[in-house]
Amino acid sequence: MKRQQRLSMKSHDVTRRTANGPSHLRGPSWFFVVNLFLLCAAPLSAATINANPADYSAKVAALNPGDVLQLAAGTYTNRLVINGLHGTAGGWITIQGPATGTATFNGVAGNNTVSLRDCSFIAIKGITVDCLGLAVDGIKAEGYTTTPHTVHDMLIENVRILNAGANQQIVGINTKCPCWNWTIRGCEIIGAGTGMYLGNSDGNQPFIRGVIEGNRVYDPEGYCIEIKHQNNWPTGLGLPTGDGRTILRNNVFIKTSRASGSGDRPNLLVSGFPDSGDGSNDVYEIYGNFIANNPRESLIQACGRLSIHDNILVDAPDANFAGIYIKNHQGKTLKVVHVYNNTVYAAARGIRIVEQPSVAHSVQGNLVFSANSISAGFSGLNESNNLTDTVANAGNYVNSPATGGAMDFYPKAGQCTGAALNMSAYTGDTHYDLDFNGDSKGAFTYRGAYAGSGTNPGWALGNTLKTGGPGAGPTTPPALSVASPAGGSLPGATEGVSYSVTFTAAGGAAPYSWNIPAVDLPPGLALNTGSGVLSGVPTTVGPYSFTVSVMDNNSDTAVQNYTLQVSTPSAGGNSGGGGGCSAGGGSAWWLLVLFGAAGLACVSRRSRT
C-alpha cells in the first residue's frame, strides 16, 4: 500500500511539472514507467496451491500470507508439521481438505500427528486426523524447554480426530505453550483419551480467549474438554492485554461408561484465571451446550468467573457430584458465578455451589429434575425463580424426558413459565437473551434452556453435531432468496469479451446449489452451480432472458428473473480511444510497448501447483 501511495504521489507530481512544460516531457515519462515496474515487482497476490500426499510437506513450509493449500483426497503418512509459519490478520494461511473425499493424516509413532509450533493466523479445515491407536496426540501446540514460543490466532474447523485413545493422557487437541484467539469449530473427536486439554497442568502456558463452538466429543476416557487454571500470564511474548472472554457454546459432550484408567473426570472442566494483571477479570461463557452421561463424575465442573446458561445437562447419577458443580479448584477461587436458564435432568445433585463466590453470584430461571435440585456449601445462596421437581415427574413438564434415545426437554404447552426474570446482571453476557435453539427469550418468563412450548422447532438432542443455537442463527432461518444482483437487467456483455457476474443467496440453510436452464443462456456462458458465478466469453449478439434458481440444504428454492444484453464490439475495439499517436505530441512507440507490457504484468495473477 505504501508503494502504491508513493507511486500515485510521484506520478501526480510529474503531471503537475510537465503540464505546461516542453513538449518532449509530455505523456508517460521514464520516471513513471520505472515506478510502474517497481510496483509490478511487489509480492504477488495470494495463491491457491494444490497438494497431494507426495508433495505436501514442502508446499506447507513455503506458504505465504493469504495462501490456500488445497489438499487432494488421500492418506498423508508424514504428519502435518506447521513450524515457524505465520499468516497475517488480513491474510490467513489456510490448509484445507477436498470438497469430495477425505484427506487423512495418519499418526506416526513418537510424533504428534498435527504439530504446531511458533505459528499464527493459520486455518486448518476439513481434514481427518487418525492417530491409529498410537501414543500420540491428534493436534498439538507443542511445548518448549528452551526457546519460548506461542501459537495464536488459529482456526481448527470441521476436523475429525480418531483413534487418539491409547490412554487417558493422549489428547485429541492439546496445547502446551501460550495460546490465544483460537477458534475450534465443528470438529468431532471420537474415542480419545481426553478430547481437548487446553493449557498446561502447571498453569504457566495459558489458553486464552478461545471460542469453542459446535463440536462433538464422544466417548473419551477422561475429560471431553478441560481448560486449565492460569497463573499470571508470561511477559514478553505478545500476549493479549486487558480483559476478555472464553466462549464454549453449542457443543455436544457425551461420555459413556468407559473405564477411566487415570481417575474419573467430568465431561467439562474449566478452572480459574490469573489472580492479578491481564486476564484476571476474564470470564468463561458456557451456553447452548448439550452435555450428557457421566456415571461417576459431574457433567460440568467450573471455577473462576463464570456465566453458565441455556445448557441441557442429562444423567449424572453419582451422589457425590452434580450436573453443574462449582467449586474452588487448583488454588483458584470462585469470583463471579451466574447460573441461569439451564435444564438439568437425572443428576443426583442438580446444581451445587460449594464455596461462596467473592464478587457475585445468582442462580435463577433453571429447570431442574433431581432429588437434590439446587444446593450450596454456604448460607445465603442467591437463588430465585427456579422450577424444580423429581425425575419421576419430569414428564408433566417436558415432551420426552429420558437419559438416552429420543429425549426431548422442550416444554409441553403451557408449562415451564413463571414471573419475568430480572436479567440485569447478565446483559454483558454474549447471547444472554437467546435460548438453546438460538431463539429469543422474549419476556424471560420461561424456565430452563428453551423459551417456547409445544413442538420443538430446533435440533433434536442426540449424539450428532448440534445445528443452530445461540451464535449460530435462529432455529428458523430467514426465507431463502436470491440476494444479488437485483432482478431485471444485468450489466451488459460484449460479444467476444470475457464476462462474469456472481449470484448470491440470503437466508435458508447453506450450502446452496444454483441453476439456469442451459438453453436460455447466451452461447459461450456457463454457470458454476456451487459458487453461483456465471462467466465465459459470449459468442452471439442479442438480448437473453432467463431465470436463476437457488436450492438450499433443506431443498427450499428461490428464483429471480434476469435479462442480459450481449452487444456488438464498438468500432476500434479496445484501443482506448484518443486518436492514436501524433508526431512530437505523444509517447514514443517503444514507451507505449513498454507501458503495455508492464500493465499486462501487473494484472496477471500467480498460480502455483
Per-residue pLDDT, 45: 64
pLDDT tens figures, 537-581 = 999 999 999 999 999 877 788 999 999 999 999 875 443 333 333
- DSSP code, position 332: B
Q: What is the mean pLDDT of residues 414-442?
A: 97
Q: What is the mean pLDDT of residues 375-392?
A: 97
Per-residue pLDDT, 581: 37
What residues pair up with 446 in beta bridges, in sequence order? 417
More confident of the two residues 599 and 242: 242
What residues pair up with 411 in beta bridges, in sequence order? 398
Q: What distance in Å separates the CA atoms of residue 10 and residue 17, rounded to the nearest whole number? A: 11
Decide if 491 contacts 449 (C-beta within 8 A): no
Q: What distance in Å separates the CA atoms of residue 207 and residue 282, rounded to the nearest whole number? A: 12
Q: What distance in Å separates the CA atoms of residue 393 and residue 131, rounded to the nearest whole number? A: 45
Among candidate residues 211, 220, 151, 152, the one with its CA nearest the CA of residue 185:
211
Residue 604 CB neighbour total at 10 angstroms: 11
Per-residue pLDDT, 30: 40
Per-residue pLDDT, 412: 97
pTM: 0.75
Q: Please give the distance of CA 262 from its chain centroid, rounded to a whole number.
A: 32
Strands 398-400 and 387-389, by their bridges, are unpaired
Q: Is the C-alpha dihedral spanning 405, 410, 413, 418 positive or negative? A: positive
Strands 525-527 and 533-536, by their bridges, are antiparallel
Per-residue pLDDT, 511: 87
Query: Does 598 have pLDDT greater than 50?
Result: no
- What percentage of residues in the chain have a pLDDT greater than 70? 85
More confident of the two residues 157 and 510: 157
Per-residue pLDDT, 476: 53
DSSP 441-496: -TTT-B-SS-S--SS--SPPPSSS-----TTS--SSPPPPEEEESPSEEPPPEETT
What are the structural domain ranges in the chain? 481-567
Backbone angles phi, psi at 426, to 5 degrees: -115, 0
Give the pLDDT band (50/70/90) at residue 480: confident
Per-residue pLDDT, 509: 74
More confident of the two residues 592 and 316: 316
Q: Which residues contact 419 (CB under 8 A, 6 or more apart)?
A: 385, 445
CATH architecture of 481-567: Sandwich (2.60)
| Longest alpha-carbon distance in the chain | 100
Rg of the chain over Cα atoms, rounded to whole angstroms, equals 30
If you count them, how many residues does the chain have? 609
Give the containing element (helix H, strand E) for 141: strand 139-141
Mean pLDDT of the chain: 88
Give the containing element (helix H, strand E) for 388: strand 387-389
Q: What is the mean pLDDT of residues 118-143?
A: 98
Q: What is the 3-state secondary structure of 194-238?
A: EEEEECCCCCCCCEECCEEECCEEECCCCCCEEECCCCCCCCCCC
Per-residue pLDDT, 477: 57
Q: What distance in Å separates the CA atoms of residue 90 and residue 45, rounded to the nearest whole number? A: 12
Q: What distance in Å separates the CA atoms of residue 254 and residue 190, rounded to the nearest whole number? A: 10
